[in-house]
Amino acid sequence: MRIISIMNRVLKELFRDKRTLALMFLAPVLILILLSFIFNSNSTTDVDIATVSMPSSLNSNLEQTKHVSVTKYDTKKAAKKALKDDKVDAIIQKKNNDYDLTYANTDSTKTVAVKMAFKNAMTDTTISTLKSKLTLASSALTKVQSQMPNASANNNIQSKKADSKPRITNHYVYGDSNTGFFDKILPILIGFFVFFFVFLISGMALLKERTSGTLDRLLATPVKRHEIVFGYMASYGILAVIQTIIIVMVTVWLLGIQVVGNIFYVILINLVLALVALSFGILVSTFANSEFQMMQFIPILVIPQIFFSGIIPLDSMASWVKDISYIIPIKYSGDAATRVIMQGQGLSSLGSDIGVLLIFLVVLTFLNIVGLKRYRKV
Amino acid sequence: MTDTTISLKHLVKKFGNQTVLKDIDLDVYTGEIVGLIGPSGAGKSTVIKTALGMEVADGGVAKVFGETMPNRQLLANIGYMAQTDALYEDLSGKENMQFFAAMKGLSKKDTAEEIKHVANVVDLTDDLNKRVSGYSGGMMRRLSLAIALIGQPKLLILDEPTVGIDPALRRQVWKELQHIRDEDRSILITTHVMDEAELTDKVALLLDGKVMAFDKPDVLKMQYEVDSIENVFLKAEGVL
């Protein structure tokens, strides 16, 4: 009963503080919209492609594509230097019958543009070669008709040649073939917003309880310590669910991001993350004596989480740096949410990530309940 | 008058190297108002916090209702008012009272009656539905007192309850406190207002972590050969 009373009270306070509420619900939406503008402004991306030993037909086809300019290089080395100097965005090299594509990939939209342009150029070229082959074949056919006995063998050779399609290999200087950057960071970002705001606001709320003396007054009643912690969890859990729903709705309907899996799982993941953030915020707030000191924990405890959350690819980091990511809650929520949103995986594959988050939650909650002993010895 | 509500025996409390309470003996009997006076830093709040079980004594025993503190269950029978107002400013006065009543374990029906009663005592009936953030300092103090009174606790522990309350209302509050005393409930009260100390049944003078004097106001005045508690205070401190 007391848990519900505490939950109601915290919710009442939260919903009367319109500014904080707006911060929680509108700020993430605003940032997401801005980010999508920044990362997805691909309507008129101009790309420069360096080509090495390319057939001239393919080259001219490429050049005809809108927003694409082609520079010919004699050697791969010269082309690579141009790539490094940021003069070109990609290199296309023909090796024997195969194609080797190298993307700078610092801007995923450019990579996509190059891929598209190359694909189109290839199709055009294949069509024209097919045409010439067709005329060749038809003339051969007339020949064959006169020399029936040799026909079948000759035909086989012809089709074999046509089947040997050129192989296309893609290389990325930065990152990998994962689609747009925004798509990639979105699942992580949702988690980050939930974590950041719940951490900050709940930490502040408990700090205020402490400094205003309401915590003492609360503890001067027969309330159990865990009832206080659970009451806070219930209220901020509700808040995090609302926040997640708003963020997901905005991303799906306003920004047109595709969520492959079940949205319910995304909400579940973020609910668990929010509870971790809550217990983390409450724990940290006991080490702060003022709101300003609470803010000081942001650059120390929150910002570094972004670096290890998976927004920046972890596989390129040194192994000891990578190990840090194992204690970053947002990494687990990001992993799990990515699986749901981008790969459409079910609950069973999320088990380990959610499990780790639950371990965080249990440990932090336990510490909080024990930690309240500082203010009342029983 | 023989039951002890609060019984502190040889209480010692240290914070780090600093010994705040050296040897406190203090008994509050049923149906008694005990005033705790002393200069700032004498340890008045520490005595209160130990009696409530928020702090644990490093030596000696603190008993409330015959049970050793800290004891969570007993807190249901204690009304506590701290020096700070300790209110949720985004909530209305009524919501504050409802919340703390729920924490004390009162039923909904009792809560409504209690709120009506205590709001009348502190003269807040008309302002109950206003948000606390719109209250004046005195109103907040009164609401804080009202919350301590909720649930008719057997023991009231009040830390400077009448700061910022105007004289007419202060008189009313004291009338209520005396009424509570007459119902065989006990009150431990700290105060800086010396003429308030005269209204208590017993005064404990706290100095340097010890109880320098503990008796009825009139007896203390005779002992120190002065005409007011204020002068007892000054004399004990060595100013007079």
pLDDT in tens, A269-328: 888 998 999 899 989 988 888 888 888 888 888 888 888 887 777 767 777 877 888 888
- Distances in Å between the alpha carbon of A345 and those of A187, A262, A335, A341, A365? 14, 8, 11, 8, 29
* pLDDT tens digits along B106-149: 888 888 888 988 888 888 888 889 999 998 888 888 898 889 98
**Order of strands, edge to edge, in the sheet holding B155-159?**
B67-68, B59-64, B4-15, B18-29, B210-215, B202-207, B33-37, B186-190, B155-159, B78-81
8 Å CB contact of A217 and B104? no
Among residues of chain B, what percentage have pLDDT more than 90?
A: 4
Cα A31 to its chain centre, rounded Å, is: 15
Binary contact (B78, A220; C-beta < 8 A): yes
Return the number of other C-beta atoms located less than 10 Å from residue A141's C-beta. Answer: 11
Burial status of residue A66 (CB atoms within 10 A of its CB: 0-12, 13-18, 19 or more)? exposed
Dist. CA B153–CA B30, nearest whole Å:
12
For chain A, what percent of residues have pLDDT higher than 70? 89
Cβ separation B54–A214 shorter than 8 A: no
The reported pLDDT for the residue numbered B184 is 86
Tokens of A40: 């997805």
The distance in angstroms from the start CA to the end CA of chain A is: 20
CB B118 within 8 A of CB B146: yes
Among B173, B220, B208, B187, smallest CA distance to B35 is for: B187
pLDDT for A106 equals 66
- What is the per-residue pLDDT across A38-87, written as a single tens digit (0 to 9) for each? 776 555 667 888 888 877 777 887 787 777 888 888 888 888 888 877 78
- Which of A62, A95, A101, A67 is closest to A83 using CA atoms? A101
Chain A hits for B104, CB-CB cut-off 8 Å, are 221-222
For chain A, what percent of residues have pLDDT higher than 90? 4
Chain segment B174-203, per-residue pLDDT in tens: 888 888 888 888 899 888 777 788 888 888
Q: Is B86 on the interface with A (CB under 8 A)?
A: yes
The minimal CB distance from B52 to the residues A2, A220, A224 is found for A220
Please give, rounded to a whole number of angstroms, the shortest distance from the CA of A14 to a CA of chain B.
Answer: 9
Sign of CA dihedral A270, A108, A105, A111: positive
Instruction: Render A25-87 in DSSP notation, one character per residue.
Output: HHHHHHHHHHHHHHHH--TT--EEEEEES--HHHHHHHHHSTTEEEEEESSHHHHHHHHHTTS
Is B88 in CB contact (< 8 Å) with chain A? yes
Measuring CA to CA, which residue among A358, A370, A288 is closest to residue A329?
A358
CB B57 within 8 A of CB B11: yes
- Confirm or reject contact between B58 and chain A (CB < 8 A): no
Cite the residue boundaries of each domain of chain A with CATH code 3.40.1710.
47-172
Domains held by chain B: number: 1
Is pLDDT at A190 greater than 90 in this prediction? no
Residue A135: pLDDT band (50, 70, 90) is confident
**In chain B, pLDDT over 70 holds for what percent of residues?**
99
| Joined tokens for residue B133 | 């953030």
Q: Nearest-CA distance from B198 to chain A in Å?
A: 28
Query: What's the pLDDT tens digit per position in A211-240?
Result: 888 888 888 888 888 898 899 888 988 888
Rounded to 5 degrees, what angle do the CA atoms A214, A220, A223 make? 95
Contact B86 A13 (CB under 8 A): no
More confident residue, A109 or B20: B20
A214 vs chain B: nearest CA distance in angstroms?
A: 4
Kindly state whether A17 is in contact with chain B, defined as any CB-CB distance less than 8 angstroms.
yes
CB contact under 8 Å between B54 and A17, yes or no, is no
Contacts of B143 in chain A (CB under 8 A): none
| Residues B48-63, mean pLDDT to the nearest whole number | 83
pLDDT of A172:
73
SS3 B189: strand
Q: Does B100 touch chain A (CB under 8 A)?
A: yes
Strands of the A68-73 sheet, one edge to the other: A68-73, A47-52, A90-95, A98-103, A168-172
Q: What is the mean pLDDT of residues A15-23?
A: 87
Distance between CA A299 and CA A306 in Å, rounded? 11
pLDDT for B205 beyond 80: yes
- Per-residue model confidence (pLDDT) at position A144: 74
Are the Cβ atoms of A216 and B54 closer than 8 angstroms? yes
Touching check for A218 and chain B: CB below 8 Å? yes
Rounded to the nearest angstrom, the minimum Cα separation between A316 and chain B is 49
Give the one of A5, A13, A377 whose C-beta lies nearest to B102's C-beta: A5
Measured between beta carbons, which residues in chain A are less than 8 angstroms from residue B15? Answer: none
Give the CATH number, domain containing residue B16: 3.40.50.300
Task: Please report the pLDDT score of residue A162 as a whole number.
Answer: 47
B41 by DSSP, 3-state: which?
coil
pTM: 0.72
Of residues A143 and A206, the one with the higher pLDDT is A206
Ranking A99-108, A243-252, A270-279 by mean pLDDT, the lowest is A99-108
pLDDT digits (tens, 9 = 90+) for B59-75: 888 888 888 888 888 88
Closest residue of B to A372, CA-based?
B54
Query: For the segment B73-92, what is each residue's pLDDT rounded down to a tens digit?
Result: 888 888 898 888 889 988 99
Chain A contact for B41 (CB, 8 A cutoff): no
What DSSP assignment string belongs to A144-200?
HHHSGGGHHHHHHHHHHHHH-PPPEEEEESSS-S-S-HHHHHHHHHHHHHHHHHHHH
Cα–Cα separations (whole angstroms), residue A329 to A188, A271, A312: 11, 13, 15
A219 touches chain B (CB under 8 A): yes
Could you tell me which chain A residue has the CA closest to the CA of B84?
A213
Q: Which two tokens stand for residue A311?
A: 């927004």
**Contact criterion met (CB < 8 Å) for A221 and B52:** no
Q: Do A217 and B147 touch (CB under 8 A)?
A: yes
> Confidence class of residue A159 from pLDDT cuts 50, 70 and 90?
very low
Architecture of domain A47-172: 3-Layer(aba) Sandwich (3.40)
Furthest-apart CA atoms within chain A: distance in Å: 109
What is the span of the domain harbouring residue B19?
Answer: 4-237
- Nearest CA among A19, A10, A22, A23 for reference residue A205: A10
Find, among A107, A85, A108, A89, the residue nearest to A51 by Cα. A89
Residue B46 three-state SS: helix
The two three-digit tokens of residue B213, written as one number? 């004097």
Amino acid of residue A344: G
pLDDT for position A363: 93
Does residue B73 sit at the A interface (CB-CB below 8 Å)? yes
Structure tokens at A192: 């980050």
Does pLDDT of A342 surpass 80? no
Interface contact B82-A17, CB threshold 8 A: no
Q: Quick check: B68 contacting A, CB < 8 Å?
A: no
| Amino acid found at B114 | E
Residue A284 or A182, more confident: A284
Dist CA A194 CA A137 (whole Å): 64
| Chain A to chain B Cβ contacts (< 8 Å) | 81
Pick from A12, A217, A222: which is nearest to B72 by CB?
A222
The 10 Å Cβ neighbour count of residue B195 is 10
- Judge: B75–A222 Cβ closer than 8 Å, yes or no: yes
Cα atoms in the Cβ-side hemisphere of radius 13 Å centred on B240: 13
Whether pLDDT at B34 is above 70: yes
